[in-house]
């Protein structure tokens, strides 16, 4: 394996030079943030936990490691600014794979104008990519705790595709839109910024809608009334998982948003103008329970994710 210095040079060569007072190469990066408040989050993407090298290319790993972090910035309504990267690699990791990993990450970084300002390398048995990302807030952050009874509940994009993609990869299917959603989630950064003008609460859906909605309801002290038929599903997910399977699916990286009734129309118009797909799936209620209706308007038994939430809530 080349020395750490060569690895760093190889990795950095794929990223644009960061426009900060001090970038990579010194003991610390030095940033000069604007007066806007800064969001910070960190997330590790680890081999055999979040991906396998048999089913993810190096570029997929680089993309996904950054995407899951950007999704958390999107959830707060933040604009991505800077990030640092701690990379652990096996000693025999091929240099061209390192370049591919960097390219996957750099392509997404460029698309969202987030600058790599530092990081470090260590050797380890598994590949792991730990990123710390920052974003600036032009407005108050979107929190999980801001929703009120009567607010409309929206979700972006479609649900369940990444779960279906995971199942397909396990069965040896390596192509198609679901597999792509599993390998290359697209963080809803632009939508998050729009939502920060209208929504009372928001979060990203990383553990499955049922579970994450549980967190939002708990934080906001509200219940929910939701219609299964309104869940936005791709034809493939509708056929393979159905609405209940999509509710339990993880790694969607869509946004879940609560919008006060007086702002629903304006929010939907702003999303339409920006080409951001959102679907109204229900309302939040004063009663702290879950009402999930099927196509016939009857209450259906809770999906597995709902059971999980109940278990957590009762502890």
- Provide the binding-site residues for Mg ion, judged by CB under 5 A: 72, 204
Is the CB of 74 or the CB of 87 nearer to Mg ion? 74
Q: How far is the CB of 180 from Mg ion (least distance, A)?
A: 21
Q: How far is the CB of 14 from Mg ion (least distance, A)?
A: 27
In whole angstroms, what is the distance from residue 84 CA to residue 116 CA? Answer: 6
8-state DSSP, 86: E
Q: How far is the CB of 213 from Mg ion (least distance, A)?
A: 13
Are 305 and 214 in contact by the 8 Å Cβ rule? The answer is yes
Q: How far is the CB of 6 from Mg ion (least distance, A)?
A: 35
Is the CB of 187 or the CB of 245 nearer to Mg ion? 187
Is the CB of 106 or the CB of 155 nearer to Mg ion? 155
Is the CB of 72 or the CB of 252 nearer to Mg ion? 72
In whole angstroms, what is the distance from residue 48 CA to residue 51 CA? Answer: 5
Is the CB of 168 or the CB of 211 nearer to Mg ion? 211
Are 231 and 49 in contact by the 8 Å Cβ rule? The answer is no
Is the CB of 24 or the CB of 249 nearer to Mg ion? 249
Q: How far is the CB of 205 from Mg ion (least distance, A)?
A: 8
Q: How far is the CB of 314 from Mg ion (least distance, A)?
A: 23
Q: What are phi and psi of 225, to 5 degrees?
A: -125, 120
With CB atoms as reference, the residue minimizing the distance to Mg ion is: 204
In whole angstroms, what is the distance from residue 225 CA to residue 284 CA? Answer: 6
113-65-279-242 Cα dihedral, nearest 10 degrees? 160
In whole angstroms, what is the distance from residue 53 CA to residue 43 CA? Answer: 19
In whole angstroms, what is the distance from residue 105 CA to residue 188 CA? Answer: 16
Residues 6+ apart with CB under 8 A from 270: 194, 197, 198
């Amino acid at each position: 394996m080349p020395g750490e210095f060569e690895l760093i040079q190889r990795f950095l060569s794929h990223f644009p030079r960061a426009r900060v007072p001090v970038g990579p190469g010194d003991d610390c990066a030095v940033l000069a943030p604007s007066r806007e408040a800064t969001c910070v989050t960190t997330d590790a993407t680890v081999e055999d936990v979040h991906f396998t090298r048999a089913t993810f290319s190096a570029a997929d790993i680089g993309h996904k490691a950054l995407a899951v972090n950007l999704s958390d910035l999107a959830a707060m309504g933040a604009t991505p600014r800077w990030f640092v990267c701690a990379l652990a690699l096996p000693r025999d990791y091929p240099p061209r794979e390192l370049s591919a990993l960097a390219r996957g990450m750099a392509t997404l970084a460029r698309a969202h104008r987030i600058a790599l300002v530092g990081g470090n390398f260590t050797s380890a048995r598994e590949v792991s990519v730990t990123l710390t990302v920052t974003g600036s807030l032009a407005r108050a952050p979107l929190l999980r705790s801001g929703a009120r009874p009567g607010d409309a509940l929206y979700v972006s994009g479609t649900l369940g595709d990444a779960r279906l993609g995971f199942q397909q990869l396990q069965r040896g299917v390596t192509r198609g839109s679901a597999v792509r959603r599993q390998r290359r989630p697209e963080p809803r950064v632009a939508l998050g910024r729009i939502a920060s003008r209208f929504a009372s609460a928001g979060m990203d859906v990383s553990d499955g809608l049922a579970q994450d909605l549980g967190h939002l309801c708990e934080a906001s002290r509200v219940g929910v009334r939701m219609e299964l038929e309104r869940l936005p599903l791709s034809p493939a997910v509708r056929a393979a998982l159905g609405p209940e399977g999509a509710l339990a699916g993880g790694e969607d990286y869509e946004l879940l948003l609560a919008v006060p009734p007086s702002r629903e129309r304006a929010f939907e118009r702003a999303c339409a103008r920006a080409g951001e797909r959102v679907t109204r799936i229900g309302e939040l209620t004063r009663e702290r329970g879950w009402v999930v209706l099927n196509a016939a308007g009857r209450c259906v038994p809770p999906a597995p994710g709902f059971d999980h939430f109940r278990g957590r809530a009762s502890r």
